[in-house]
Amino acid sequence: MSDDTLYSRLGGYDAIAGMVDDFFGRLMEDTLNSRFLVTLADDRKMRARQLTIDFICAAAGGPSLYIGRDMLAVHKGMGISAADWDASVDHFVATLDKFEVAETEKSEALAFYQGQKADIVEA
Ligand code: HEM
């Protein structure tokens, strides 16, 4: 792992885990997106949280192995709309801002996030 990975520049595992927790908190409070999450048992929320951390850490060049399902398989059938997606992007930006992520890393993280859209949005 080289030091200039996005993983390192974001601050490593603890920083990314903190960002995922903040982001999930924002989705839970958002009436548009919370409907996808409130019905999940706590255990399933914890599983999705852990796998999301692993997914991001692995994609950002960190020492993690993602053992979850691919983005298309896991979100297919949820009916996530473009409006749900746009709201989630706003929450993601709010999280990056709260953690004072610098512009370069912010645009790389946002590009990665937007790169998942085609597999996740279906309605
Ligand atoms: C509007 C946006 C999104 C919504 C509403 C959403 C919702 C969900 C829900 C409800 C689950 C739990 C599924 C289950 O337990 O069966 C889940 C799992 C997951 N999501 Fe998302 N998601 C969104 C965007 C994203 C994005 C952008 C990523 C990646 C950066 C992501 C990564 C994951 C991962 C890794 C899992 C767990 C995979 C697995 O169980 O194998 N999600 N998502």
Q: Is the CB of 85 under 6 A from ligand 1?
A: yes
108, 6 Cβ separation under 8 angstroms: yes
Confidence class for position 2, pLDDT limits 50, 70, 90: low
Q: Is the CB of 44 under 6 A from ligand 1?
A: yes
How much is the average pLDDT of 45-49?
97
d(CA 112, CA 96): 13
pLDDT at 54 > cutoff 60: yes
How much is the average pLDDT of 21-30?
96
Atom of ligand 1 nearest to the CA of 68: 41
Which CATH topology does 6-117 take?
A: Globin-like (1.10.490)
The ranges assigned to domains in the chain are 6-117
| Amino acid (1-letter code) at residue 17 | A
Q: Report pLDDT digits (tens) over 66-116.
A: 999 999 999 999 999 999 999 999 999 999 999 999 999 999 999 999 999
User: For the whole model, what pTM was predicted?
Assistant: 0.95
